Amino acid sequence: MKHGKKYKEAASKIDAATQYDVASAVDLVKQSSTAKFAETVDLVVRLGVDPRHADQQVRGAVVLPHGTGKTVRVLVFARGDKEKEAQAAGADHVGADDYVAKVQEGWTDIDVIIATPDMMGSVGKLGRILGPRGLMPNPKLGTVTMDVERAVREAKAGKIEYRVDKAGNVHVPVGKVSFSKEQLAENVTTLLQELMRARPSAAKGRYMVSAYLSSTMGPSVRLDTSVISVAA
């Protein structure tokens, strides 16, 4: 892949052989951002797991302290008092069978879907539509719950889901280049600590193999993950 002059100038500031601490990496990523739009900052972590085995799957959700900088559209499947609770918490769309029908017709213009347990009989029918898009509510991720208010507020505040892919990588956004260095560093550290906490007991050898931070159009910076510990 060919890169332009600005990219090459930015990349020249980064030593590919060096593993940077989080603060230094964030600083370099911000310096190397030259796009005219609000670039997203992404974190890619290679884990020493074999995703083909169920006991080495790494999946979960975490609330980033400073969010992702993205406006999150939330749909809640609920009835009665829980419907009112979702509306009061700031959900963008709330309903029951009406929204089930809407999704069945092809509507998926949302980022997060939350459902109360009693709605899963109906929502389960949407698996073929929602599953491939990563939108299917899941109790392990806190999106099938009776605590609708908390789930909505966390989603709006920047709760993100992570999942290891077939190659053993976790790829997630951790903010925007417009965030302060401190905000980005805290988001990155929170996510790395969460991944450490989620280490499967079946994973052997080196767990966090490598981690890279980059902006949408900028070069990647390798992180020193040896100092990352499990979150308290």
Range 155-166 average pLDDT: 91
- pLDDT confidence of 231, banded at 50, 70, 90? low
Map out the domains of the chain with their CATH numbers: 5-67+159-222 (3.30.190.20), 74-156 (3.40.50.790)
Amino acid 32: pLDDT: 86
Range 209-229 average pLDDT: 89
Tell me the C-alpha distance between 24 and 227, whole Å. Answer: 14
- pLDDT confidence of 17, banded at 50, 70, 90? confident
| pLDDT digit string, tens, across residues 78-126 | 999 999 999 999 999 999 999 999 999 999 999 999 999 999 999 999 9
- pLDDT confidence of 232, banded at 50, 70, 90? very low
